[in-house]
Structure 1
Amino acid sequence: MAERDLLVEIGLEEMPARFIEGGMKQLEDKLTAWLDEKRIGHGLARTYATPRRLAVVVEAVADRQTDVEEEVRGPAERIAVAEDGSWTKAAQGFARKQGISVDQLQLQEHKGENYVFAKKHEKGQETSTLLYEGLAEVLGSIHFPKSMRWGSRRTRFIRPIRWLVCLYGEDSVPVEWAGVTADNRTWGHRFLGGETQLTAPSDYVGALREQSVWVDVEERREEIRKQLRQLEQQHGWNIPVDEKLLDEVTHLVEIPTAFYGTFHESFLELPAAVLITSMREHQRYFPVESRDGQLLPYFVSVRNGDDRSLDKVAQGNEKVLSARLADARFFYEEDRKLPIEEAVRKLDDVVYFENLGTVGDQVERIRYLVAEWARRLSLDEATRAILSRAAEISKFDLSTLMVDEFPELSGVMGAEYAAKAGEQTEVARAVLEHHYPRFAGDRLPEGIVGTLISLADKMDAVVSAFAVGIQPTGSQDPYGLRRRASGVVHILAGRDLGNLSLDRLLDDCLQRLETDDWLQREQQQVKEELLHFFRLRLKTLLQEKGIRYDVIDAVLASDIAYPQLVLERAQVLTENVAKEEFKSVVEAFSRVANLSAKGDPEAKVNGDLLDLWAERELYAAITSAARSFASAEEQQDAQGMFEAIAQLAPVIHRFFDDVLVMAEDKATRNNRLSLLRDIDRLTHRFADFNKIVFAS
């Protein structure tokens, strides 16, 4: 069977950079899945993209489907063959259904009885024919978070389609989709290139390079890195590379050319975060630092083009950035005139959630929550005073012009303005820290003040939303509730906060909402939904830590009140799961769980009914283990908790060897089941050992 490479390219108007990676992945996945479904052999697939195209080259694509030999079983011989040896109507109908004549039917033995079998041979179709008939459906199945229609067509895509390439070997396949017919023509850079005809998929990268397009994404990314390093070496700079910005810039250009510009030194009086955010978020510029980390009055940008007239390009970018920085300086100076108390009062006019009042109302809830938690943690008076003030002004920067223009600077500007206004260092730091962690892998708040305000802020947001029926659905999470809940879990898993359990935090938040008459749903139902929501966030955290799936299921089926302890329990199980003796522990606990389910969950063990030595031994062992377990649990000692219950395993095995649990005497039977129920309750406080899986 002959093989040829396949090239598919979608040419379109410039796409938003943030959608390109997803589009590339979908094109590769959907096309290779289609080839597999159609029984078309193929090799590796390589994806390419620029703002104006998505493309994939699949190597060694077979020129036709593989043939199919299929054997289908029909009715039994007693039904298919008449007394005179002719085929019955049942057999004839089976043959018609399989697309063969009755002469092709065969009798074969199956499980001791003869049946009619139809053997079918389906010859594979040519790949070019299948591409012509099916590729449009593959392309039409690519979806984006936002899409559009154009002209009078019903096709929806991220941007209007302008050309298509479908090149199979040296032959173009005239696939029709979105009002465009595919051929072997592609287009280069909008200003520096033009139309070019491709002779084979292997020419794709080189042919577009001649038309000023670097179609390989990784090649463009590395070229930008290289040019940034060259500028560093030439000028003695340090250019910090934000990977997210680098990815975005890579997807904004077809041929990258880095250049630098300047801005007036007076703008360096602004906080560095303001300058960097203005450059990075609004203009897609890289900031420039000295070798000792000081911000310099320069910026680096990447042009979508060659190096001609770069001085004029730099001048144009300098004018734009200067205007941006002038606005930022105006915001900064005006914000400095706004007293913090007045900024806090303005929060009473800022809507929080629909049906949940204002941001001012939220701040009051935060103040209440942190005061309650500080009391439980027995914090000293000085710390409580700092905590109260930090909570009171934690959101004041939402009233500032700077944060209104740059929402991502919330907290950063609050800390800056608070420090300039003479607030205590710990208060200003907490205004910033209460936003941490902002994303996966971000830092946690360092101080107890920032930690408690962060917990209160995030918990209140999640619980309040659930209280009024707002929950994430599918990929939609407009209020960032998953991110906030994940932040809570990471804090609770990474900080020792004594008796502040997840359960306690939820109850306090729900109680305050009910007191303020914001709770619109039944409290217990809301709490159950929240516990499920946080359990899913804990599952993600454990997956990030590389914990086995069955260990994750085991610990999450147990108590999750203390995420730090959940993580430690998972780590203890992970350390023991490879040990030979651990299998014996799991077998013992699993057998206990399976049998104890047959007993009365309300029944108590009667010591007077424990006649056999093995019963009395197990009763004594569980009593001792429960004391040791409770002591270790109080100290949040996962290893000690495990050791307390693991010592039960040999005693349990002896019990099952010597004792008939399901005795004929009802009282004896129920008493033994109650004994097992007590063991199951204890072990389940650590994990559901039934969920641990061992390789057979």
Structure 2
Amino acid sequence: MAKDILVEIGLEELPARFVDDAEYQLLTKTENWLNDSRISYTSIVSFSTPRRLAVLVKDAAEEQTSLEEEMKGPALKIAQDEASNWTKAAIGFTKGHGKTVDDIYTKDVKGTAYIFVKKQITGKPTHELLPQLSEIITSIQFPKNMRWAEQPLRYGRPIRWIVALFGTEVIPFEVAGVQTGNLTYGHRFLGEMVTLSVPANYERTLADQYTIVNPAKRRQMIADELTKTETDQGFQIPEDDELLGEVCNLVEYPTVFVGSFDQSYLALPPEVLITSMKEHQRYFPVKSNNGELLPYFAGVRNGDENGLDTVVRGNEKVLRARLSDAQFFFEEDQKQSIDYYLEKLKRIVFQEKLGTISDKVRRITAITNQLSQWLDLDEQTCSNAARAAEICKFDLPTSMVNEFTNLQGIIGETYALNAGETQAAARAVAEHYLPVQAEGTLPDSIEGAIVSVADKLDTIVGCISAGLVPSGSQDPYGLRRQATGVLKILKTYNWHITVESLLELAEQQYENAESELMDQDKSRSETEQFFRHRMTYLLKESAIEQDVIQAVLYNGIGVIPYMVAKAENLSHERNNPDFKPVQEALVRVLNLARKTDLTEVSQSAFETDSEQQLYEAYWSVTDGYKKATIQQEAAEALRQLGKLSQPIHDFFDHNMVMSDDEVIRNNRLALINQIAYLIYDYADLSAIEWKQHF
């Protein structure tokens, strides 16, 4: 007869960001253990609140599934003597598995006969195995752990109770001094201690104690109440899945309420108000139907509606204090000039070996100015970009950014506009931090994109020069994210500037650095390799095959839009049967060219018409190829190379390259090598696994 299994870990309140992953670990680890232990069941479901993690297994078998294992013994020639009698090796093998020689059978394994027996492994009663669940509990990992009392266990929060039931029976084990039982606890203030008679009643029993253990139901309750509030009040509460998920993991019994704040605070930048509500208090901002911020907020209480008015007043008081501080910071900050804050940057260290933030701004400005020239921008745009670079970090010493660190750049834009800066320069101050995540929004303005690239290049090149190369999961300066941002901006804005020239530009800013940095050649190699890995990652995300990626990155990254176009073109052509003759010809040239470094071709040494024709085709194609390359037309460039296909085939059909005559041999090799240089300029086609696609 099958029985349900219930395990609940009762804890002090977990941080909201710990809950989802811990619940997932408990679920998957339990599921894996059941399968590995050969305990059958019909379903498994997990639960979580800030105070508990639980898993419920339905219809678990009362004993393990028995196994019949095939045990392999020695080879037959060892197991039997010349008279076909069983040897000591065979007898010992069978006895070791509780069998006799009568149970032996033979099977052929890779041409050799071996002896086998079948061994029955009888399943154990499930209740004998269930105490092993304690190991699952202790194996759950948290972002941060703590210790309490005299317990050696490090855990997300102290364990206060453990429910462990197999049907109506308690599964006996102990974790961190807490003995298992059938007692659980409802809501900290509205519920009480209750006895769980059977696992199946778990969710319903706790619901009666004001605890909704199913996080999906709890989340839906909050969403439904927010929607009802919108309808009742006639305003909008913008959807925010991240905040909704966090609030869900902060409460066990959610009740939505609406509070308000003084309308005068609407004079503050909307981002300040929203940050105060969301980041500090976990409130939902409220907007009008026109999208304007209103002096209201929606919160979620951990409890019922009893005394809700008092709860609302308390939350309003807390928010009022935060907004009052924000208003004070906002007003005080603007009593000083931008130059005042730029001066302060000279006393803020960016990185020990890389100087101050002021030093960084100087480097960003130099990179921005050169990049603007390369892009051939108009005078006004160059001026806006340069000014944005000069002031891009000025808001860092302000009281507002000190209080609301995630508003760096956003506050800078507001203060810059109030100080009389141009709209374009001020906007670039905010945008130069973008993208803030690998998949985040890119800058909308050309000025913002330029300063963003300049800032990120300086950080990446500087940090790598200082020996701060990311390793494993360690990337404290976010270099991977920033490199991805640079590459995406180059591609999106279609800038025909090589990545290598940008890296060289950034490196030039450190030529006179006073601190000891990595050797420039080593630094360049490390940085280029770092960007190559990021580019590989982005191309894989675009479904480009690994061998094609290797082919197009043969000569470095180059111009991003052109390199991506080449990769996409080759990825398409590899599946095109009509391209096979071209591929075979070009790859044959590359393979042969590896045998020489000769490049000097003499027409007078040609012996056959096919040599002369290939030579003339090479020069004709070179002109067309260079034109296509200048215009960044990847498909046309490959089409030009394709014109060499027939002349190459004719050349190999009518000539022996490795002629006995040294002059002829070297001349032919030099011709092949020159053609190879042209092909390599496009990609290393020999790196692509063509054959498996035809």
Q: TM-score by structure 1 length?
A: 0.90
Report the equivalent of 1:498.
496
Give distance in 1, aligned partners of 2:658 and 2:123.
62
Match of 1:568, SS state, is helix
Q: 1:609 offset after TM fit, Å?
A: 6.1
How many pairs were matched up?
A: 692
Q: Structure 1 residue 401: deviation in Å? A: 0.4
Residues 1:116 and 1:605: Cα distance change in structure 2 (over 3 Å): farther
The match for 1:371 is: 369
Q: Which position in structure 1 is the counterpart of 2:118?
A: 119
Deviation digits for residues 261-309 of structure 1, max 9, x if unmatched? 1111111111111111111111111111111122111111111111111
CA RMSD of aligned residues (A): 3.2
The reply to whether residue 485 of structure 1 matches residue 475 of structure 2 is no
Q: Cα distance 1:665–1:346, how it changes in 2: closer, same or farther (>3 A)?
A: same
Tell me the CA shift for residue 324 of structure 1: 0.4
- Which residue number corresponds to residue 51 of structure 2? 52
Matched residue type, 1:226: D
Matching residue within 517, 522, 529 for 1:520: 517
Which amino acid is the alignment partner of residue 218 of structure 1?
A
Q: 1:293 to 1:571 in 2, by over 3 A?
A: same
Corresponding position of 1:436 = 434
Matched, 1:538 2:524: no
Picking from 174, 177, 180, the partner of 1:179 is 177
Q: Using the TM superposition, give the Cα deviation of residue 327 of structure 1 relative to its aligned residue in structure 2, in angstroms.
A: 0.4
Q: Secondary structure at the match of 2:274?
A: helix
Distance 2:514 2:226 in 1: 57
Q: Any idea what the Cα deviations from partners look like across 1:647-689, whole Å, max 9, x if unmatched?
A: 5556666666776667777777776666665555544444454
In the TM superposition, 1:9-408 aligns within 5 A as 9-42=8-41, 45-59=44-58, 61-83=60-82, 86-91=85-90, 94-95=93-94, 100=99, 104-110=103-109, 113-133=112-132, 135-168=133-166, 171-408=169-406
Q: Distance in 1 between matches of 2:111 and 2:161?
A: 61
Counterpart contact for 1:466–1:526, Cα < 8 Å:
yes
* Structure 2: distance between partners of 1:614 and 1:45: 73
2:174 and 2:644 map into 1 onto residues whose CA distance is 70
Does the alignment pair 1:629 with 2:628? no
TM superposition shift of 1:47: 3.1
**Residue among 556, 564, 568 paired with 1:567:** 564
How far apart are the structure 2 equivalents of 1:688 and 1:39? 52
When residues 647 and 239 of structure 1 are mapped into structure 2, their CA distance, relative to the original with a 3 A threshold, is farther
Deviation at 1:46, TM superposition (A): 3.3
Give the Cα separation in 2 of the matches to 1:436 and 1:15: 32
| 1:125 positional shift | 3.4
Describe how 1:685-696 pairs up with structure 2 within 5 A. 685-689=681-685, 690-692=687-689, 694=692
Q: Which moved more, 1:562-571 or 1:356-365?
A: 562-571
Q: Secondary structure at the match of 1:396?
A: coil
Over 3 Å counting, the alpha-carbon distance change for 1:224 and 1:664 in structure 2 is farther
Measured after TM superposition, the shift of residue 42 of structure 1 is 5.0
Alpha-carbon shift at residue 62 of structure 1 (Å): 4.8
The 1:112/1:650 distance shift into structure 2, 3 A limit, reads same
SS at match of 2:429: helix
- Please give the alpha-carbon distance, in whole angstroms, between the structure 1 residues aligned to 2:427 and 2:604: 63
Q: Answer yes or no: is the 8 Å Cα contact 1:559–1:685 preserved in 2.
A: no
Moved more, 236-245 or 347-356: 236-245
Give the drift of 1:626. Answer: 4.0
Describe the SS at the equivalent of 2:521: helix
Secondary structure, counterpart of 1:258 in structure 2: strand
Partner of 1:600: 596
Distance of 1:147 and 1:574 partners within structure 2? 47
Q: CA deviation at 1:329?
A: 0.7
Q: Give me the whole-angstrom Cα distance separating, in 2, the residues matched to 1:456 and 1:399.
A: 21
Residue identity opposite 2:568 in structure 1: Q
Matched residue type, 1:342: Y
* Contact 1:598/1:673 (<8 A) preserved: no
* Equivalent residues of 1:167, 1:184 under 8 A apart: yes
> Offset of 1:458 from its aligned partner?
0.9
> Alpha-carbon deviations, 1:570-628, whole Å to 9, x = none?
333454455443566556555555x3375134566666666566666555555444443
Q: Structure 1 unaligned segments of length 5 or more: list them.
A: none
Q: Deviations over 1:190-211 (max 9, x none)?
A: 1222333445544333232222
- In the TM superposition, residue 172 of structure 1 has moved relative to its aligned partner by 4.3
- What is the Cα deviation at residue 404 of structure 1? 0.7
Q: Report percent identity of matched pairs.
A: 44
* TM-score relative to the length of structure 2: 0.90
SS of equivalent residue, structure 1 residue 163: strand
Structure 1 residues 366, 519: closer, same or farther in 2, change over 3 A? farther
Aligned to 1:581: 578
Unaligned runs of 5+ in 2: none
Whole-angstrom CA distance in 2 between matches of 1:608 and 1:32? 78
Cα offset for 1:494? 0.9
Deviation, structure 1 residue 637: 2.1
User: Which residue type is aligned with residue 523 of structure 1?
Assistant: Q
